[in-house]
Amino acid sequence: MLNFKNKTAIVTGGGQGIGKAIVQAFSHHEANVVIAEKDEEAGKEVIEWLVSKGGNREAFHFVPCDVAKEEDVRRLIDETVEKFKRIDFLVNNAGLSNFKPFLELSVEEWDLVLNTNLRGAFLCSKFAAPYLKQTHKGSIINIASTRAIMSEPDSEAYAASKGGLVALTHAMAISLGPDVRVNAISPGWIEVRDWKKSSQRQKVQHSERDNGQHPVGRVGEPEDIGRAVVFLCSGEAGFVTGQNIVIDGGMTKKMIYEE
């Protein structure tokens, strides 16, 4: 069993959805976890949820953070080092989307998506890197998307940001190696509505068609990504860097012809 006792992970966007499951996965393996979250209600709630499941309150720390703002990211790193004295893992998960017709997408809307999803990962990585290098086995995981490699209409800003994350991943892997490994995970359809904060949580029932279109026979769950993150951060993945791991139940390998 993996064990991250006395190690520290930062998870951006860790209050809801995939980020919440990543925080849970690190907690399960006894890491200290810093939840960087713009939504204060969600950030505080996830700590209470973890404690209710038997987690050690002292192992969690919430930092309100807009990853697009340099001053917020500097404070995030400073608070993490002040509380836990080290940074071993960084998961750049915070992100947002704006799916609207391409010709109606404003420059401001484009910038908001790119600044959060891509600039945020750059800033967090840049300021965490000196501490990650000190551990000599640090790891950065960027949460990209299968939309980095395939698209539906009206997804230009999101696709560009996630494609940029994949490119940033292999660039940083070369620049920060050998002390820091950098990998990306590209989730496919991951159902997050039942992993939202309590005021927005929804019970979800997927149809047979929803499940059946996936070669594995089901829609993805946030825990699928959490498990992959902790594996990639562990010594078990010590020869893996610069990679984009697609976790989509096989959907991007499935040939689809219109009938």
Q: Give the tens place of pLDDT for each residue, 84-133.
A: 999 999 999 999 999 999 999 999 999 999 999 999 999 999 999 999 99
Residue 210: other Cβ atoms inside 10 A: 14
158 part of the active site: yes
Whether 136 has a pLDDT exceeding 80, the answer reads no
* Nearest alpha-carbon partner for 142 in 175, 166, 177: 166
The answer to whether residue 259 scores a pLDDT higher than 80 is: no
Q: What is the pLDDT of residue 49?
A: 96
Three-class SS state of 215:
coil
* Confidence grade of residue 202 (pLDDT, cut at 50, 70, 90): confident
- Which residue's structure tokens are 């990585």? 125
| Rounded distance between C-alpha atoms, residue 119 and residue 113, angstroms | 9
Q: Which amino acid is at 140?
A: I
Q: Which parts of 13-104 fold into alpha helices (H)?
A: 17-28, 40-52, 70-84
Residue 148 is which amino acid? Answer: A
Catalytic pick among 93, 158, 197, 222 = 158
Q: What is the pLDDT of residue 256?
A: 82
The pLDDT tens digits for 154-190 are 999 999 999 999 999 999 999 999 999 999 999 999 9
Share of the chain above pLDDT 70, in %: 100
On average, the pLDDT of the chain sits at 96
